[in-house]
Amino acid sequence: MTANIAVLVSGGGTNLQALIDAQKAGIITSGKITLVISNNANAYALERAKNADIKTAVVLKKELGEGFEERIKELLAENKIDIIVLAGFMSILSESFTKAFPKKIINVHPSLIPSFCGKGFYGLRVHEAALEKGVKVTGATVHFVNEIPDGGEIIMQKAVSIRENDTPETLQKRVMRLAEWKILPLAVEKVCSKIIK
């Protein structure tokens, strides 16, 4: 028995690719990615899903407005999804949505929470803030999603050293490669194995 995983994406899908690769490599065995939902019709992540023969759906907030989250819930129900992974999903989910899936939604954030997280901290902004502050260590955190942005219980963290000549771009790439792509698959496997028990 495996847990059905839905991955919610908005962009390039590098974290989705890390999950697909981890599934192929046997790192994720308790779950299977069965659906990828994007809130951006042009997200390259959709191509990655198609290349891996994973079902995709596009749900646009500007088209659906209030019905945006309802449509996502319908897709999750239709596909019997057990766990939702936010992988660079650029839309904050409402409290009513997150409460409907307690400990079933996980997100990867590109810093060591509680540093550089919460409202407005996403993408390069996180790394810009870390460099501005002069911290020597950053990293990534996988956490459960609740109604507070980046406020849910931490599942896994991995630290990455900051180098003297780092730019937000070089730091972002290193945090992805050394932390996000490593701990997201491990955290997904951990949560899936609990779900199927």
Residues labelled as active-site residues: 109
Contact 76, 104 (CB under 8 A): no
State both tokens at 107: 């997100």
23-51 b/e with 16+ CB inside 10 Å = b? beeeebebbebbbbbbbbeebbbbebbee
3-state DSSP call for residue 107?
A: strand
Rounded-to-integer distance, Cα 17 and Cα 11, Å: 12
**Considering Cα of 145, then 185, then 170, then 130, what sign does the dihedral take?**
positive
